[in-house]
Structure 1
Amino acid sequence: MLMLQGRVAERDQIDQMLTNAATGTSSALLIHGEAGIGKTALLDYAAERADGVRVLRVEGIESEMELAFGGLHQLFLPVMDLLGRLPGPQAAAMRAAFGLTDGVVRDRFTIGLAVLTTLAEAVGEGRLLCLVDDAQWLDTESVDALVFAARRLQAEGVVMIFAVRDGTRDATVKGLPALRLPGLDREEAAALVAGLPPYVLDRIVAEAQGNPLAIIELSAALTPAQRAGRLSPLALPETASPPSGRIQDAFLAQIGRLPAATQAMLLVAAADDTGDLGLVLDAAGRFEVSIADLEPAEHAGLVFLSGETLRFRHPLIRYAAYRRAPLARRIAAHRALAETMTTPQHAHRRAWHLAAAATGPDEQVAAELERVARWAGGRQAMSSASAAYERAAQLTPDPGTRVRRIIAAALAAADGGQDERCGDLTALVTDPIQDAGVAADFARARAIVELGYGRPAASSRILLECADLIGADRPDKLPSLLGDALHSALSSGDAGLIADIAARGQGGLVMDVPARLFGGDLPGGLEALGDLVRAVREPEAAFMDLLLAAGYCHLVADHETAHELAAAAAAHCREHGIGGWLPTALHLLAQVELALGRHDEAAAHAAEGLRLADYCNLAHRAAYLRTVTAMLAAVRGDEEQARDLGEHALAYTRGHEVGRGAADALWALGLLELGAGRAEAALVHLESAGRQVGHPLPAMFLVPDLVEAAVRAGRPERAREPARLLEEWARTAGRPPIAALARRCRALIGPDEEAELHFAAAVQSHEGGIGFDRARTELLYGEWLRRMRRRTDARRHLREALETFERLGARPWARRARAELQATGEAVNTADLAAGRIGRLSPQEREVVRLAATGATNREIASQLFLSPRTVGHHLYRAFPKLGVSSRGELMTVLSTPS
């Protein structure tokens, strides 16, 4: 194939992927480059090489990229019968997404998991090749679901290859191994057009700039005189247009030589996204043409036809066929397709075709598009919902309704994690808003943008100003306005602003809790928090109330309740497709898991949240997630990663006055220094962190590290006041985790004759906990006992600490515990400690084994971990020999036995 000239390495890579699939190894690849560079040719090559392999293929179409799940539906048409094999929730979600039922998609991640399961089922006993061409023009929801699956393929024998054109604003395939196609060199390019005179060849190669399609099409467009060498300067201008423009010109000329009836057929086919030949013929019949008029295009190699489908040879041919037609003909084509699409299944496509045919304001079409937007929102397709609202606004004659729809588009964009687009849409609203409810929604949209790209305190003030302005007219809007304002204020760390919002009281319990906690009424705050927790456990509780309640519980060290509520908040985000808030919920969940000593879970949730935040360019949320990941790296003693993440987060949070985030970043850096034995540097970071939050309560978590750093640095006087505040808080809160840390601090800064009493009480308060905090208390107690020359007593505590540190991978702390244990005279076999059977498993293998031990099936495990059942089976196959077991029934015994 000519378009594969010079692509030896790329073909070898595809061959290797297909070979690996034969042994059950899945893989994914993103091929990207400019138009005409050979992406489609490589996909065609993969399809040709897939001997005995099932092939699924879809091609993105620019004019249809707002049709939610349209691309996914086209890809899975050949395997729709497999939906019956999916677990019930997955099958229901897929049928709802495809419009086959009236149900709603309550969880976008269920769609992703359903795609993963469908791909695994489609493999059968062989292999599967999934090709996605022009993915930049596929609808966002389909791309997200396919990429979700591609990143989780492991042991299914599936190969997924995406092709994306560079330079397109909507290219959304991220997180996959990427292969960029460069232009061909002169020797490779010359092989494409052998027989041209050197002068003409040089001109063609120079004009095409190494683009193989441009080389082929430009040479094919030459007249016989030009091919012979009589090439005038006007034929190929010295100032070349981009290769894609030249390619378009060649296609335009080729289409222009076809009969008018054939051009009409191609126009209707280009305006359609379904590839349904029958539908295209029905619509084209309104132009008095028939299937026979497609013959010239088929003979010219512009389209491929089968019994039921029509496919263009190259996406640029479709584009040329559409753009070549005058506007009136394009409008007529869309109108014809709309008139043909009369079934409920095509209702959303019909609305978009009507919109494409509209030449001015049209409330009837705008209303249909708004219904499409609500339909898309009900299926968690927030990007498509936003696009439909925006186009509806453009067609709306009434100014007030137009503004309402623009703001709805902005909020849908924000829910989908598109804060930048949300900002672009809010900028379109320039006139005063008369409707109080719409004004509240506009304030929320502006605040989201400010929180994402500006300063959280400014975001809070936008919402407060709106609350003051519309409160009398729309008191029902106050809870959401004040709840969002409080969330931003908490992020800023501005205690005065937090108190100002909370003191207004219109938000009920969700405001009463911080008003009391930050106002000095700690017992009242804890009582109000208990009432709030009971309220948010009700099904109708507002999402922001749930998120804030989880944060308050974490703040007062009720970590178990905080974990329950944070997990519920994350589940709510997934269920309702509000991807913009999911990184925030995952950040809180990871923080709580870190406090509970569940480091593997914390790392997984923080990594997921960071991927989502970076994917959507949500810098504010990404900064917070980096602080959790930095903290985990500090615990492990991974200095390079901890410092890189911590300093990255600190640069952003300080620059945007995100006080809480800056405090967390400094805390991570302080913990890193403390673990490395650099107590003075740790003290500087930790004291600076305390100054960032503006109130003693959020700084309480820093105190145990600050006290240890101050004592080790020989500055115990700098720890006395923080330790006193922590002790006072512990007495009021009555939480064992806080009590344990307060006692530990008293033991460190008090006289030796009182130390043992406080250490023993701290260990007792930690009872039941096996996390990092308890291990550090055991370590400090053991160190003190050894200094008191009570070596036998010290060993028990040091062993407990060492085992936990080893299990958590907390290398600096394990080294310290090991050294202390050796100093007591005990011989420590480092290899035995590190070689526990569970420690031989990878993190994902551990998760699979943990769930399998509970009796969960492979399908149930796959649903929880977002894997395919085949990959779950693969992990168990690898884990059994490492654990020395031969059946699932033995797993619980292994997990309950100390390594």
Structure 2
Amino acid sequence: MLFGRRAECARLDALLKSMREGRSDVLVLLGEAGVGKSALLDHALQSASDVQVLRVSGVESEMELPYAALSQLGLPLLDGIDRLPGPQAEALATTFGLKGGEPPGPFLVGLGMLNLLAEAARDRPLLCVVDDAHWLDDASAQVVAFVARRLRAESVLMLIATREPVPSMRGLTGLTVLGLGPEAAQQLLNSVVRWPLDDGVRAALLAEARGNPLALLELPLASPDRLAGGFGLLEATALSGRIEESFRRRIAELPADSQELLLLAAADSAGDPVLIWRAAAALGLSPEAGGAAEEADLLSVGVRIAFRHPLVRSAVYRPAAPESRRRVHQALADATCAQTDPDRRAWHLAHATEGRDDHVAAELESSAGRAQARGGLAAAAAFLERAATLTADPELRAERELGAARNKVHAGAPDGARVLLDRVASGPADELRSAHVGQLRGHLAFATGDVAAAPVILLETARRFERLDPTLSRETFLDAITFALTAGRFADRATVTEVAAAAMSAPAPSRTPRAQDLLLDAFAVLYTEGHAKGTPLVRAALDAFRRDELPAAEAPRWLAIAGHGSYEIWDDAAWEAIAELNLRHSRDSGALVMLPVALTQRIAAHLHAGQFKAAAALLEESEAVAEATGIARPNYDAASVAAWQGDQARATELLRAVETTAAERSEGIGFTLVHYTNAVLQNGLGRFVEARNAAALATANNPETAFAAWALTELAEAAARSGDSAQALQAVERLALTTAPSMTEWGLGIEARSRALISSGATADGLYREAIERLGRSRGAVALARAHLVYGEWLRREDRDLEARGQLSKAHDLFLEIGAEAFAERTRLELAACGVAVAQPAAERAVELTGQERQIARRARDGRSNAEIGAELFLSARTVEWHLRKVFVKLGISSRRELRTALA
């Protein structure tokens, strides 16, 4: 019986009922040690005797073992791995060490785990219980959070208990477990203290426990002789410390062999009785040693050896003498099979070793390699860091510390990476190693928001690499250019021009130039000598990227900056191809950092092509990525879509938020994008003064190229329409420096449209016609519609109303088809001025599909299977099936074939 937990138990019972009815849920129980989270989990388990149950607990000493917790959760289900899509099955097999292979991406592991749970729940609902989530290893925590966010219709209930918020789980539905109320606390205390007790002491005990159930259960039993006078209740230690101390007193009363058995069990989280009894035998401990611990209600021995409460484990392990810890870890290492579980064996050996030990350090380094192959970057860093502490040779120690730092950088642990880099820097002098430290410091600066410092550090590092490693020198120069472009106006000590000038002297490639080598040389010329000389070189580099010869692991890193090159030279064919290629590689690799960048580039390409619905669908996927990972991102994608659609209120709100983030990170390119997008919005609304002001801000800083050039087109239109012909002319001349060398239909069409705005008579007429012809052969559907619009506006001012009506009607139809509502309304007003009343199209029958239902329905219409749709949208195949059933009902159809007509 749980005193005072009626509401909490009712909520758990409701979730179990919902699970049995085919729905999925997640609930995070948050509360201090001993407050009753585990008791509530036990209530759920006792109420779920008719369902499948998986239970796992985080263990503090194994927080750096990759997927240690996930293995406990997933291994019982591996019989169903063959029913998963091939890539997901392979990812899980690699993650759990069943086979070797390339490191699987975190999304692929998470999606595999999600579908593994869904498959297991097909026959019988599944309850997953995760206790002590604050002690989960990072890799397991990310996957558990991923799965929890994507559960929908799998008949899976996930209950997670934690003492403190887990960063990767923020946003999940939570329940804060508080202490018991006065009446329930009194009842619980009475159930323990059955002897007479002074009222003052009882009141002091209740006040001290503050409703914490474990405190009410343990403190009276820990020192009953001290309760008579009420002494000892006001110690300075925290409540969890006092509870732990109560366990220590009970442990101290046990026989020595029982205490050592407890320490042995505390040193290994697996709880495998075979392993622990094998180690116990090596220490001379008999099975009877566990009897006293069980009688003291500290330990339970069954199919798994488990502690009554996590505080028992810490009460055993923390105060143990170092030599005692080393003794039990050595016994566990000896008892662990080197072939089947080499990483756990190496971890125990590390904790059993005092001083330097090169043999153990080598084993740990091998474990780091295996951990990295399973995607456990944080674990690889932990193994290497521990290996370094055991390494006698200072040179080798520094190399291992450098490897650990590199893994921490990529795992998103900047503080730990900085500590290790400082150690390497203070170690034996080595020029190449020092350059590697500089490279990592540059990436750390960018990742932690010091964007302006990143190109400075990387420029210096690239120069140091010139003599040491030409390949790394070239790659570092390209990274420095990338970060300098991002910093834009804030890169005062290493502007893109300065970095590009330095890159002119970069060492030549030591082999046949790769695509990124060609791009570095092209950017060096482009940003120092201008577009006239640089554009042909950039085009050659983009052609190399489009051949898709990059290794899959490297592709997302370089394709992102290659996409920027396509904007620079107004090549929308390359833009389209590279954006699609980048998105495919990023999806396939599950690149946590690069996938949002790839989505942003693809969304922008869709907007350029007038594919607003496709852009909105990817926007929904971008939001799904943020939800799946719990990583918040500046919502530029949504702001851009809203601006092009003409949704003024939403676009303005989102642009303000993005500008704030850009300022915080010193990202000048973010300012350019915000002001350019605002200029698009204001031009669409016909607010030309506001558009001119926004475009002027976007074009004020030359280092923020490409997007600033786009903004020049907005400035030319807004200035011309608001009567500032001088500013419009200046904008066009600046624009032509990039568009004329491009020799693309997009670039030359944009230039012709912009020049027409500042021209008159036959010259203007010819330029407008040229713009329409060229843009009609490009991918720029919106740019084409806008060319029809401004030509129609000019014709009306020239009193050529009949011709104006034709151009404006064409523009209006295009804008409506695209979904650019503000531009469509601006066009309608021009048509009205020509005497044409435009009837709004009859509203189609509204079908209330949610955003996710639309995504799924479109993909099903296009022939994708449920598993393929789930892989793209981070859902289980069962959830996809559930959504499709709802779509069929809403659309009044009964098969996937009918989707082609329903979603024409």
What TM-score does the superposition give when structure 1 sets the normalisation length? Answer: 0.89
AA partner of residue 163 (structure 1): A
Question: CA–CA distance in 2 between the matches of 1:723 and 1:134?
Answer: 62
Count of aligned pairs: 873
Structure 1 position 123, deviation (Å)? 0.7
Structure 1 position 821, deviation (Å)? 6.1
Aligned 8 A contact 1:433 1:439 in 2? no
Matching residue of 1:289: 285
Question: CA–CA distance in 2 between the matches of 1:775 and 1:151?
Answer: 41
Aligned 8 A contact 1:849 1:879 in 2? yes
1:270 to 258, 266, 269: 266
Question: CA–CA distance in 2 between the matches of 1:451 and 1:50?
Answer: 49
| Structure 1 residues 253 and 774: alpha-carbon distance in aligned structure 2, compared to 1, 3 A threshold | farther
1:675-720 CA-partner distances (Å, limit 9, x unpaired): 5554333322321121234365441111232233334444343222
User: What's the % identity of the aligned pairs?
Assistant: 34
Matching residue of 2:55: 57
Matching residue of 2:703: 694
Aligned 8 A contact 1:771 1:804 in 2? no
Structure 1 position 574, deviation (Å)? 6.3
Aligned 8 A contact 1:704 1:741 in 2? yes
Question: CA–CA distance in 1 between the matches of 2:756 and 2:348?
Answer: 74
Matching residue of 2:491: none
Moved more, 736-745 or 317-326: 736-745
| Structure 1 residues 104 and 774: alpha-carbon distance in aligned structure 2, compared to 1, 3 A threshold | same
Matching residue of 1:538: 549
Question: CA–CA distance in 2 between the matches of 1:199 and 1:771?
Answer: 82
Aligned 8 A contact 1:669 1:685 in 2? yes
Aligned 8 A contact 2:789 2:808 in 1? no
What TM-score does the superposition give when structure 2 sets the normalisation length? Answer: 0.89
1:535-571 CA-partner distances (Å, limit 9, x unpaired): 4421448544443323212333334433543454456
AA partner of residue 35 (structure 1): A
Structure 1 position 278, deviation (Å)? 0.7
Aligned 8 A contact 1:518 1:695 in 2? no
Question: CA–CA distance in 2 between the matches of 1:815 and 1:10?
Answer: 54
Moved more, 394-403 or 170-179: 170-179
Aligned 8 A contact 2:786 2:811 in 1? no
Matching residue of 1:497: 498
Is 1:471 the counterpart of 2:480? The answer is: no
Secondary structure at the aligned position of 2:127 is classed as: strand
| Structure 1 residues 214 and 718: alpha-carbon distance in aligned structure 2, compared to 1, 3 A threshold | farther
1:236 to 221, 233, 237: 233
AA partner of residue 569 (structure 2): V
Aligned 8 A contact 1:440 1:481 in 2? no
| Structure 1 residues 803 and 10: alpha-carbon distance in aligned structure 2, compared to 1, 3 A threshold | farther
Structure 1 position 489, deviation (Å)? 1.7
AA partner of residue 887 (structure 2): A
Structure 1 position 783, deviation (Å)? 5.3
1:225-282 CA-partner distances (Å, limit 9, x unpaired): 62xx4223xx112x54211111111221222223322222221111112121111111
Structure 1 position 117, deviation (Å)? 0.6
Structure 1 position 391, deviation (Å)? 1.5
Aligned 8 A contact 1:265 1:294 in 2? yes
| Structure 1 residues 672 and 866: alpha-carbon distance in aligned structure 2, compared to 1, 3 A threshold | same
| Structure 1 residues 394 and 578: alpha-carbon distance in aligned structure 2, compared to 1, 3 A threshold | farther
Question: CA–CA distance in 2 between the matches of 1:568 and 1:499?
Answer: 26
Aligned 8 A contact 1:587 1:628 in 2? yes
1:419-440 CA-partner distances (Å, limit 9, x unpaired): 3432333233342653333222
Structure 1 position 744, deviation (Å)? 3.4
Q: How do 1:91-240 and structure 2 match up within 5 A?
A: 91-166=89-164, 172-194=168-190, 197-223=198-224, 226=227, 229-232=228-231, 235-237=232-234, 240=236
Moved more, 209-218 or 579-588: 579-588
Aligned 8 A contact 1:380 1:578 in 2? no
| Structure 1 residues 292 and 594: alpha-carbon distance in aligned structure 2, compared to 1, 3 A threshold | farther
Question: CA–CA distance in 2 between the matches of 1:216 and 1:633?
Answer: 58
Matching residue of 2:38: 40
Structure 1 position 727, deviation (Å)? 4.1
Structure 1 position 644, deviation (Å)? 4.6
1:554 to 547, 557, 567: 567
Question: CA–CA distance in 1 between the matches of 2:368 and 2:704?
Answer: 44
Runs (5+) with no aligned partner, structure 1: none
Aligned 8 A contact 1:852 1:888 in 2? yes
Question: CA–CA distance in 2 between the matches of 1:601 and 1:560?
Answer: 21
Matching residue of 1:302: 298
Question: CA–CA distance in 1 between the matches of 2:707 and 2:198?
Answer: 77
Secondary structure at the aligned position of 2:40 is classed as: helix
Question: CA–CA distance in 2 between the matches of 1:800 and 1:520?
Answer: 43
Matching residue of 2:514: none
| Structure 1 residues 127 and 629: alpha-carbon distance in aligned structure 2, compared to 1, 3 A threshold | same
Question: CA–CA distance in 2 between the matches of 1:672 and 1:150?
Answer: 38
AA partner of residue 868 (structure 1): S
| Structure 1 residues 534 and 744: alpha-carbon distance in aligned structure 2, compared to 1, 3 A threshold | closer
| Structure 1 residues 705 and 190: alpha-carbon distance in aligned structure 2, compared to 1, 3 A threshold | farther
AA partner of residue 718 (structure 2): A
Matching residue of 1:75: 73
Matching residue of 1:858: 866
Structure 1 position 470, deviation (Å)? 4.3
Matching residue of 1:599: 615
Question: CA–CA distance in 2 between the matches of 1:707 and 1:750?
Answer: 12
Matching residue of 1:253: 249
Runs (5+) with no aligned partner, structure 2: 489-494, 510-516
Matching residue of 1:356: 351
Is 1:881 the counterpart of 2:889? The answer is: yes
1:452 to 447, 454, 469: 447
1:576-622 CA-partner distances (Å, limit 9, x unpaired): 6764555444444444444444422442454366669973x9xxxx4
Moved more, 863-872 or 19-28: 19-28
AA partner of residue 218 (structure 1): L
Secondary structure at the aligned position of 2:34 is classed as: coil
Aligned 8 A contact 1:798 1:820 in 2? no
Q: How do 1:284-433 and structure 2 match up within 5 A?
A: 284-306=280-302, 308-431=303-426
Structure 1 position 396, deviation (Å)? 1.9
Aligned 8 A contact 1:663 1:693 in 2? no
